[in-house]
């Protein structure tokens, strides 16, 4: 049973008739781009119909002139009335449709599908993503080491025993009940106070203990209960 003709089909063939009359009336005149496109549409649809495409429901996606002789028309076409395909038709004013529509010689038949937006990762360059993280860690490590050296030299703050100052010497953190750690001349609460260290600052221990008193490397003694240190690393004698 013949298919009913669509408005697009009627317009295309009507335009073709006008173009044909214009060509017959003035054979020496070159076709305008619009006339070339209309002629190409008609010829391409005729070729598509001969190859089983339902031209009465054809949809023109785009049409353009490539030069004074060639035109490219892209259609949405169907053979079964449901699934559609995108068909590119190259047309020459002097030679007609270039090949058989629907075959490789006539253009590219592309099934309509959503575009693939996925981009494969180049694993050979993925390590560049880790470079800023690595540089950040290196900078942080260098900064921490510098701060540790400065604290060691100035008796600054530290968190418990940080590391050995020298053989048998360790950093501990002041943690007195009243906020100031008293460094006394002897291991005796009645002896003179040499100086005081604020909580959170560091003192260097020699590793010598006298009862509940710990010897300070710079001289003096502090109560063990008023400092924090790593008991697993310091060996008292």
Asked if the structure places residue 53 within a domain, the reply is: yes
Q: What range does the domain containing 175 cover?
A: 152-237
Q: Mark residue 179 as left, alpha or beta (left: phi above 0; alpha: psi -120 to 50; beta: remaining).
A: left
Band of pLDDT at residue 180, cut at 50, 70 and 90? very high
* 160 and 237 co-located in one domain: yes
pTM reported for the whole predicted model: 0.34
Task: Name the domain count of the chain.
Answer: 2
Whether 228 has a pLDDT exceeding 60, the answer reads yes
Quick one: 228 and 171 in the same domain? yes
Classify residue 139: in a domain, yes or no.
no
Report d(CA 76, CA 61) in Å as an integer.
Answer: 7
Residue 203: both structure tokens together: 């003192």
Q: What is the pLDDT of residue 152?
A: 43
Averaged confidence pLDDT in the chain:
74
For residue 88, is it within any domain? yes
Residue in 84, 90, 100, 85 with CA at minimum distance from that of residue 37: 90
* Chain segment 7-53, per-residue pLDDT in tens: 545 544 455 454 454 444 444 457 889 999 999 899 998 888 888 88
- Examine the fold and report which residue of 51, 81, 111 is the final residue of a domain before the chain moves on: 111
The answer on 97 and 47 residing in a single domain is yes
pLDDT over threshold 70, residue 163:
no
Q: Does residue 111 surpass a pLDDT of 50? A: no
In a domain, 2, yes or no: no
167 shares its domain with 218: yes
pLDDT on residue 29: 59
Q: Are residues 17 and 103 in the same domain?
A: yes
Question: Is the confidence at residue 220, as pLDDT, over 60?
Answer: yes
* pLDDT band at residue 6 under the 50/70/90 scheme: low
Question: Residue 190 belongs to a domain with what CATH number?
Answer: 2.30.30.40
d(CA 148, CA 163): 9
Q: Final residue of a domain: which of 83, 111, 139?
A: 111
Q: Distance (Å, rounded) from C-alpha 28 to C-alpha 40?
A: 19
98, 175: one domain: no
What is the three-class DSSP state of 160? coil
In this structure, the answer to whether residues 75 and 156 fall within a common structural domain is: no
The per-residue pLDDT for range 41-71, each reduced to its tens digit, is 999 988 888 888 898 888 999 999 999 999 9
Closest C-alpha to 106, from 73, 76, 78: 73
User: 160 and 74 in one domain?
Assistant: no
Counting residues of the chain whose pLDDT is more than 70, the rounded percentage is 61
Domain assignment present for residue 69? The answer is yes
Question: Within a domain: residue 119?
Answer: no
- In this predicted structure, what is the pLDDT of residue 83? 85
Q: Residues 29, 105: one domain?
A: yes
What is the arithmetic mean of pLDDT over 226-233? 82
One domain for residues 161 and 210: yes
pLDDT tens per residue across span 190-217: 999 999 999 999 998 888 889 999 999 8
Instruction: Indicate if 107 and 12 belong to the same structural domain.
Output: yes
In a domain, 1, yes or no: no
The reply to whether 147 falls in a domain is no
Q: How far apart are CA 9 and CA 150, in angstroms?
A: 87
Using the 3D structure, point to which of 111, 144, 172 is the last residue of a domain. 111
Confidence of residue 169 (pLDDT cuts 50, 70, 90): confident
């Amino acid at each position: 049973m013949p298919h009913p003709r669509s408005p697009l089909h009627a317009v295309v063939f009507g335009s073709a008739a006008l173009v044909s009359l214009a060509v017959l009336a003035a054979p020496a005149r070159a076709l305008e781009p619009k006339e070339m496109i209309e002629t190409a549409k008609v010829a391409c649809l005729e070729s598509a119909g001969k190859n089983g495409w339902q031209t009465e429901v054809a949809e023109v996606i785009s049409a353009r002139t490539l030069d004074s002789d060639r035109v490219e028309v892209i259609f949405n076409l169907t053979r079964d009335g449901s699934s559609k395909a995108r068909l590119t038709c190259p047309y020459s004013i002097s030679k007609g449709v270039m090949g058989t529509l629907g075959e490789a010689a006539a253009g590219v038949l592309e099934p309509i599908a959503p575009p693939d937006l996925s981009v494969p990762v180049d694993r050979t360059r993925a390590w560049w993503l880790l470079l800023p993280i690595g540089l950040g860690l290196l900078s942080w490590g260098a900064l921490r080491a510098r701060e540790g050296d400065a604290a060691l030299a100035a008796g600054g703050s530290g968190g418990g025993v940080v590391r050995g100052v020298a053989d048998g010497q360790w950093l501990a953190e002041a943690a007195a009940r009243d906020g100031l750690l008293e460094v006394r001349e002897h291991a005796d609460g009645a002896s003179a106070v040499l100086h005081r260290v604020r909580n959170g600052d560091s003192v260097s221990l020699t590793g010598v203990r006298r009862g509940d008193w710990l010897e300070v490397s710079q001289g003096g003694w502090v109560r063990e209960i008023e400092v924090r240190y790593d008991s697993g690393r310091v060996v008292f004698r």
